[in-house]
Amino acid sequence: MDNGSRVVIEHVVPEVDCGRFPIKRTVGERVRVEADIFADGHDLLGAVLQYRREDTSRWTEAPMTLVENDRWRGEFTVSDVGRYRYTLQAWIDRFGSWARDLARMVAAKQDVAVELEIGSALVRAAGRRGNDADAPRLAAYADVLRRGGDEGARLALSDELEALMASHPDRERAATYERQLVVHVDRLRARFGAWYEMFPRSCAPEAGRHGTFADAEARLPYVAAMGFDVLYLPPIHPIGRTHRKGRNNAETAGPGDPGSPWAIGASEGGHKSIHPDLGTLDDFTRFVQSARRHGLEVALDLSFQCSPDHPYVREHPQWFRRRPDGTVQYAANPPKRYQDIYPFDFDTAGWRPLWEELRSIVRFWVEHDIRIFRVDNPHTKPFAFWEWLIGETMRAEPDVLFLSEAFTRPKVMYRLAKLGFTQSYTYFTWRTTKPELEAYFTELTGTPVREYFRPNLWPNTPDILHASLQEGGRPAFISRLVLAATLGANYGIYGPAFELCVRRAADPGSEEYLDAEKYQLVRWDIGRSDSLMDLIGRLNRARHEHAALWSDWSLRFHRVDNEQLICYSKSAPDSADVVLVVVNLDPERVQDGWTALDLDALGLAADVPYTVRDLLTGARYEWRGARNYVQLGAGALPAHVFHVEPGGAA
């Protein structure tokens, strides 16, 4: 038996899994909140959105307004990294309801003397509640209402009294939403960034020599010139020798084979050590600082697995599963066996020290100025571990970002994002047709998924050379590059393989690179005249200059009457900046067609000319209305990245 508030607050959006998980935002973003708010009867209601940083106790309030059909809306802006909370409060607006009814009675010329006395009591109570500068005025108004007559009726329905009473609502029996919901606020880089993945060991100018951090430092101007924001390095730790893989994933390594960087750990050390051939920890620190001066933030790989030679195997045998024959259980996906890799046994009774040790690895690199981690295969470790690890890390260092490399089933990928991963790899790599791309990116950017899952789009990785690149060659590389860089505010390429359009696979039907850099040193001819370096630079500059490309939520697809042409736009908040992209998905043929643009989405009026300026070529076209002609491919670039500018061409 509970005679609580008469007001119901339900169906709050955003809210992930009944509030079990936070929503994600970046600094400066708005949180727009909607809810169904209603009460029994016919009274008017008042409502506010309440929010606060989690480390403060005072709520700030933002007004909520009725949209329609009992749906209310309000919003606030998050200004700091870390966690915020938000909830809602709503109440019956007795004075507003009274004034509404009174107006109807006055219009019907009914006697309202008694009603004015009722109103007087409401105003007097507001004056007593306020205890502020308005109290005397409210008391005086209450007297006027009480005296009634024309003067009382006039005051009762005045805008002045309405405004005054609206600022002194009776919230004694207000309803508070049953949950406090959480916003996790990251820095901008969580939402917007161009990544470049590079193996430092392949940065030596001479063929055959193992590159060092000094060599990698010399490569920084090249990467910076392409306009990237994040430089991601595969593991930089000592590499195991036992069962080391040779070139092209050979079972046995040759004498000079460096092994896979993901087979972490050797006598020289493990996850907190630097591969001796790359240099020292000081060399690494210098490299990170130099990268920062070039506008590049270095991201490290977190691969929680060991080579058989990792010191952990000897020091913490209980962290690995034993086979009945006494050997350690290696990684396997039967019938495939990865005998160079020992997974941790997260089911071990000694899981607490294991978790703590892994947490200390993150702390170690954070202390060495690393704030971005790309996490290898998180879907093969327990969910509870990640929620703990990321939660602990971000509590201490809220500017740290984690990218989830989980190429697995959709619900597992989404779960990892909910648990705390800042960004996630996606299926973009395998979505190549127009219907596939439209359906997938509508799911990622136009459904509640976007509240917690931030896509990071990669056309290639050291593990994945998609058939469309193998077959399509340079035009396909350009199309996929433009798609990644404009569909995704976060995207990345694995270079220099990407900009050099490397497209030979290990075997027919395979997505593995031939002579993959994972297993051998590679000397890249980065100066090649057909490199996409310049184009990438133009694209990344366009991304930096156009706020429309800093986020994914405004993505809107537009129709084109050719299935090989995909067309979409993005706009900055309040449409201050609009970018329109058209890409030819056919690497072999010229394709043309007519657009059917959604002019509203572009912030354009019908039948007024406007200019589209290609940010890749500088070309300008005067367009008008929804229907415009485009032709792309063969010789010309297979993509337009237009800035949409109101007004005709100069």
Contact positions toward a copy of itself, by CB under 8 A?
A: 1-4, 6, 8, 10-11, 17-18, 36, 38, 40-42, 69-70, 101-102, 104-105, 107-108, 110, 114, 117-118, 121, 323-325, 327, 332-335, 346-347, 351-352, 355, 379-385, 388, 409-412, 415
Q: How far is the CB of 428 from a copy of itself (least distance, A)?
A: 19
Query: Closest Cα to residue 425, out of 392, 379, 380?
Result: 379
Q: How far is the CB of 15 from a copy of itself (least distance, A)?
A: 9
* Closest CB to a copy of itself among residues 323, 504: 323
Of the residues 405, 451, 499, 511, only one is catalytic, namely 405
Specify the residue for token string 């193998």: 470
Structure tokens given for 83: 């966690």
3-state secondary structure 493-555: EECCCCCCCCCCECCCCCCCECCCCCCCCCCCCCCCCCCCHHHHHHHHHHHHHCHHHHCCCCC
353 with 344: CB under 8 angstroms? Answer: no
Residues 6+ apart with CB under 8 A from 86: 31, 33, 49, 50, 51, 52, 76, 180, 181, 183
Query: Closest Cα to residue 586, out of 566, 561, 568, 557?
Result: 566
Residue 376 is a catalytic residue: yes
Check residue 88 and report its DSSP letter.
E
Q: How far is the CB of 292 from a copy of itself (least distance, A)?
A: 34
* Closest CB to a copy of itself among residues 57, 65: 65
* Closest CB to a copy of itself among residues 131, 333: 333
Q: Which helix (H) or strand (E) holds 102?
A: helix 94-107
Rounded to whole angstroms, the Cα distance separating 55 from 233 reads 34
* Closest CB to a copy of itself among residues 293, 411: 411
* Closest CB to a copy of itself among residues 146, 209: 146
Of the residues 115, 229, 376, 517, only one is catalytic, namely 376
Q: Is the peptide bond before 238 cis (omega within 30 degrees of 0)?
A: no
The percent of the chain in helix, strand and coil, each rounded to the nearest 5, is: 30, 25, 40
Q: How far is the CB of 239 from a copy of itself (least distance, A)?
A: 25
Check residue 647 and report its DSSP letter.
S
Residue 405 is a catalytic residue: yes
Q: How far is the CB of 82 from a copy of itself (least distance, A)?
A: 21
81 with 398: CB under 8 angstroms? Answer: yes
Q: How far is CA 259 from the centre of its chain?
A: 33
Q: How far is the CB of 409 from a copy of itself (least distance, A)?
A: 6
* Closest CB to a copy of itself among residues 94, 538: 94
Active-site residues: which are they?
A: 376, 405
